[in-house]
Amino acid sequence: MLIHVTRSVKLPNPVKLARLQRCPDLGPRVLFFSGGSALKDTSPELIRYTHNSVHIITPFDSGGSSARLREAFQMPAIGDVRNRMLALADRSLHGNPEILRLFAHRFPEDGDPKILEHELDRMITGDHELVADIPDPMRKIIRHQLDMFRGFMPDSFDLRKASLGNLVLAAGYLDNRRNFDTIIYIFSKLVQVRGIVRPVVNKYLHLITETEDGEIIVGQHRLTGKEVAPITSGVRKIWLSASRKEPVRTDVPIRNKMIRLIGKADLICYPMGSFYTSLVVNLLPTGVGRAVSANTCPKVFVPNTGGKDPESFGLTLTEQVKRLIFYLVKDDPDRISAKDVLHFVIADGENGNYPGGVDEAALSALGIRVISTPLVSPESAPYIDEKLLVPILLSLA
């Protein structure tokens, strides 16, 4: 029998937090929709309290070394998945620091291609110091994965700036009929990931953006403002496409496994990070909004406090919330309402810098309550301090 219970919650709840610290294996399933680096500092703090957090990650990154793997093998981007798994890894276990060092290693940008291939071969044979330092049986598994990648690697593949962790994941993906689940499981066991990390879909797709002035932007990396100049006109809409040349909308549904993951969450968090390429893009596949609305757990939005996200150009905090709701209810706008997909905005009214300020009246009109709490510390300013955020999220879960 299932019943809906309403209760009061103390924020933060020191008694609950102390219990979670004693037994994080039994911690709550806090689910995040985000990109790979958005919760880089939050993840290590999170695993102090729970080993059951769920991280739904975008696989559409079209820049950096991920782009070379995407184009060479027509596969989803794996760099953000790798980043989140490394952020959630248990660094205290024997051999893990050495494994993490290898997986975070990148070949130099100015390296000679032939020399880099020779360096990869030395890793495969176990002679390279980064591999030699890793204890068995993990060393044998990693050497095997790198050897598989060497076999898949086209002669024209450019290893410059390539991440070793990405190569291991790519090899496992290609060797398992282009399925992420098996290699994510192996990778997670190798570094003892204290949580669940999954790409929102297992598809090779492109993020397409239309700006308010009518420009069509093809590719996630062209929207972030990191590899090209930031946009100077607001985003009108974004969608996913199977083609860059004909960037029409592609309807891609999430798997039943993803629906179940969302359905079992104890709290759903739309966290800080790049507004479109880390957050909204994860809501585009069909079924995400419906799965979120079917779960009656608390749902919270944690907006950026630094006021410097180029993707949210022209959007006030209230407009960000409205845009977030728009993409969450799109599966069935007649049956899914704002109150089904978002309950709270967590904001630091004193030290946070939010475009347009925190308009509690406007948010209340949407049925959303503001939780005003300290999030920015002197050490983290102007950004969110994970030691202040994580206790709030876990107390709500």
Residue 44 one-letter amino acid: P
379 in the same domain as 261 = yes
Per-residue pLDDT at 12 exceeds 80: yes
Per-residue pLDDT at 226 exceeds 90: no
- 290 falls within a domain: yes
Burial of 305: CB neighbours in 10 Å, binned 0-12, 13-18, 19+: buried
Angle 352-358-360 (CA atoms, 0-180°, nearest 5)?
145
Angle 252-34-7 (CA atoms, 0-180°, nearest 5)?
105
CATH number where 314 lies: 3.40.50.10680
Burial of 39: CB neighbours in 10 Å, binned 0-12, 13-18, 19+: buried
Identify the pLDDT of residue 222. 86
Identify the pLDDT of residue 95. 76
Identify the pLDDT of residue 66. 82
124 in the same domain as 43 = no
**212 to each of 182, 218, 223, 234, 236, how far by Cα in Å?**
41, 15, 13, 5, 5
268 in the same domain as 149 = no
Domain count, the chain: 2
168 in the same domain as 276 = no
Residue 239 one-letter amino acid: W
Each residue's pLDDT tens digit, 93-117: 877 899 999 999 999 999 999 999 9
283 in the same domain as 349 = yes
**150 to each of 45, 73, 174, how far by Cα in Å?**
36, 13, 12
What distance in Å separates the CA atoms of residue 204 and residue 202, rounded to the nearest whole number?
7
Identify the pLDDT of residue 93. 80
Q: Print the domain residue range for 340.
A: 14-58+252-396
Identify the pLDDT of residue 336. 97
pTM of the model: 0.96
Residue 151 one-letter amino acid: G
Identify the pLDDT of residue 94. 77
Query: How do 235-241 and 206-211 pair as beta strands?
Result: antiparallel
What distance in Å separates the CA atoms of residue 361 and residue 36, rounded to the nearest whole number?
33
280: Cβ–Cβ under 8 A, 6 or more apart, which residues?
Answer: 238, 323, 324, 327
Identify the pLDDT of residue 273. 94
Each residue's pLDDT tens digit, 132-179: 999 988 899 999 999 999 999 999 999 999 999 999 999 999 999 999
Beta carbons within 10 angstroms of residue 141's beta carbon: 17
Each residue's pLDDT tens digit, 114-128: 999 999 999 999 999
Q: Is the separation of the CB atoms in 288 and 263 below 8 Å?
A: no
257 in the same domain as 331 = yes
* pLDDT band at 7; cut points 50, 70, 90: confident
- Average pLDDT over all residues of the chain: 94
Nearest to 276 by CA among 340, 306, 336, 319: 319
Per-residue pLDDT at 203 exceeds 90: yes
**Mean pLDDT on 273-284:** 96
What distance in Å separates the CA atoms of residue 190 and residue 141, rounded to the nearest whole number?
9
DSSP state of 382: T
- 52 falls within a domain: yes
167 in the same domain as 110 = yes
327 SS3 class? helix
Nearest to 219 by CA among 231, 230, 210, 206: 206
What distance in Å separates the CA atoms of residue 174 and residue 152, rounded to the nearest whole number?
8
Per-residue pLDDT at 190 exceeds 90: no
- Structure tokens that stand for 81 in this block: 């998945």
Q: Is the separation of the CB atoms in 388 and 272 below 8 Å?
A: no
- 231 falls within a domain: no
Identify the pLDDT of residue 394. 98
* pLDDT band at 350; cut points 50, 70, 90: very high
